[in-house]
Structure 1
């Protein structure tokens, strides 16, 4: 325990003059009646009140100490606590190119992917999970973390148009690998979701897959989109018109990426199909993770306040009952 206002503890010095004053006062108040011989009182039983005579003073001293401790604001100490838990390390690589606005999945591909991903995150509280976004380029939206409240907030803020348009699948994988390569977990996973084929980026998808394999990272690939044509919202003037665009997913490359890294390829033509990949990941081997948790300070004045109240109450009751003085 620590004190936020530790300077108030110096007020405890005031107890010394107060105790001295009380002792001197008691000597002054001694009875002046004199008797020639006290032997007659030798066998007189002593009242229990004699033992309680100084109890109000002691209670007041304790109350004073408690008051000073409360003013000093006692708090529980901040500390880091290492705990061990079961889990795997997962990076979610999400395509945010404008084609993800197609509405063959409701309300659109991106929102459906975010909804299912959020359900997956909520169902795996012990996993380190992060998010990588890619379009023409790639960046990390959230590094690996067990703070899933922050993770879900960043996932919810993900939108198309955050990056220059395009589909750099290889860059998405490479960025996710950079976040997982130092992981000590036995199971390291990338969940790659895209609705197109690689047309941008400096690293090819298969080269990125080989890099992932060299670090023992398993890649699950998801091709999202219906078969044939998909309705795509196209802004015209102040309105939005829907045009049908062909769904062109490079399934061969996505399948090869998954095969090379001991993962699996999924084709998600609906939201329900999209959930299948997450059920598959649940079957992965789990490994122990060291999690460093931070505990915040909490005010700890309550016990001292209770003692202060009881001491004041006790003093009042004693002075007005068994130790009451009659003038």
Structure 2
């Protein structure tokens, strides 16, 4: 624990009473007096000393010490004493990340190979891998966008990773329509990034089909994203040899990533998808802004309370012990 003062200049007031005692004229007060014709005889009979001028009431040593101590305590309270706690370090991430996940009808195909060799639904395989990826994003802000025929913001930017994972688990194939609107997903991501105030902005777009229903072409959307400082990583999990909605357009996904300073990856199994996320992590290390501060507790009430208690105790003591007081 460390003690500091918020207004240390207050201690300049400590010698003020001494200066007033030295420089200020004494207080004078006129009072009525009784003239005694035989005053000299009275003083002679009582052997009292006679002096000219005002009468200065004597002060005991206890009164002087109490006055000095209370003044020091009052000035100390005015200096705003503060108790410093242990340093607290806060790490704030300077990276915002959007996961754009394709949930079109083709994501229901069961052609993703699990590590045990079984076949798994494409969307379920993606969910299982992304869950671990999200869990490792401690400190990052993540937004989740799902898209099919239309694109929707499932979660805005948040550091509540559990909520992102839970909402991702609740998504089902076809919830956003059967078609694939990659360009709209990129456009919605750009608008979502408008609320971001950090420099590192990543979009990870995962799709298993070709763009068929976007209002803006994916390539144009990628160029706009690059101008907005958004890096796009595209991941293809579909069948390049398919037809229609189920055909994965590898060239388009690669073109999107290239125009937005990112990279394109293709995965046909769950293990390969997990390795892709590891490579994305390696190429984009997390950047943090570290801030350290010490909590401050105001304790000015302590010297103020001590001054009040000491003053009252001494005042009561002098009152009880003054001469001439009857029991």
Distance 1:86 1:257, change over 3 A: same
3-state secondary structure, aligned to 1:136: coil
Give unmatched runs, 5+ long, in structure 1. Answer: 1-80, 231-244, 292-327
Q: Which residue of 2 aligns with 1:255?
A: 254
Deviation at 1:281, TM superposition (A): 2.3
The 3-state SS of whatever aligns with 2:120 is coil
Shift, 1:83, TM fit: 4.2
Counterpart for residue 267 of structure 1: 266
Structure 2: distance between partners of 1:190 and 1:109: 20
Answer yes or no: is 1:288 the counterpart of 2:288.
Answer: yes
> Separation in 2 of the partners of 1:98 and 1:275?
23
Q: Which residue of 2 aligns with 1:223?
A: 236
Instruction: Kindly state the Cα deviation for residue 247 of structure 1 after the two structures are TM-superposed.
Output: 5.1
In structure 2, the residue matched to 1:156 is 169
- Aligned partners of 2:224, 2:89: CA distance in 1, in Å? 32
Secondary structure of 1:164's partner? coil
1:199 and 1:229, CA in 2 relative to 1: closer, same or farther beyond 3 A? closer
Q: Residue in 2 aligned with 1:94?
A: 101
Deviation at 1:144, TM superposition (A): 1.1
When the two chains are superposed, the root-mean-square deviation of aligned CA atoms in Å is 2.4
Contact 1:93 1:172 in 2 (8 A): yes
- CA distance change for structure 1 residues 273 and 226 in 2, over 3 Å: closer, same or farther? farther
Which structure 2 residues correspond to residues 125-144 of structure 1 after superposition, within 5 A?
125-144=138-157
Q: Retained in 2: the 8 A contact 1:92–1:132?
A: yes
Greater mean deviation of Cα atoms: 177-186 or 115-124: 177-186
Q: Distance in 2 between matches of 1:94 and 1:115?
A: 13
CA contact (8 A) 1:185 1:288 kept: no
CA distance, structure 2, for counterparts of residue 130 and residue 290 of structure 1? 23
Provide TM-score, normalisation by structure 1: 0.56
**Paired positions, count:** 197
Distance 1:260 1:130 in 2: 22
Q: In the TM superposition, what whole-angstrom CA distance separates every residue of 1:230-283 from its partner, at most 9, and x where no partner exists?
A: 9xxxxxxxxxxxxxx995111111001100111000011111111133112212
CA gap of 1:130–1:289, structure 2 versus 1, over 3 A, is farther
Contact 1:171 1:202 in 2 (8 A): yes
Residue in 2 that maps onto 1:51: none
Matched, 1:175 2:188: yes
1:175 deviates by: 0.9
Larger radius of gyration: 2
Q: Deviations along 1:57-96, whole A, 9 cap, x unmatched? A: xxxxxxxxxxxxxxxxxxxxxxxx9943235211000111
* TM-score for both structures, normalised by structure 2: 0.56
Distance 1:229 1:163, change over 3 A: closer
State the distance in 2 between where 1:180 and 1:171 align. Answer: 14
State the distance in 2 between where 1:160 and 1:180 align.
26
Where do 4+ consecutive residues of structure 1 move more than 4 Å? 226-230
For 1:168 and 1:127, how far apart are their aligned partners in 2?
27
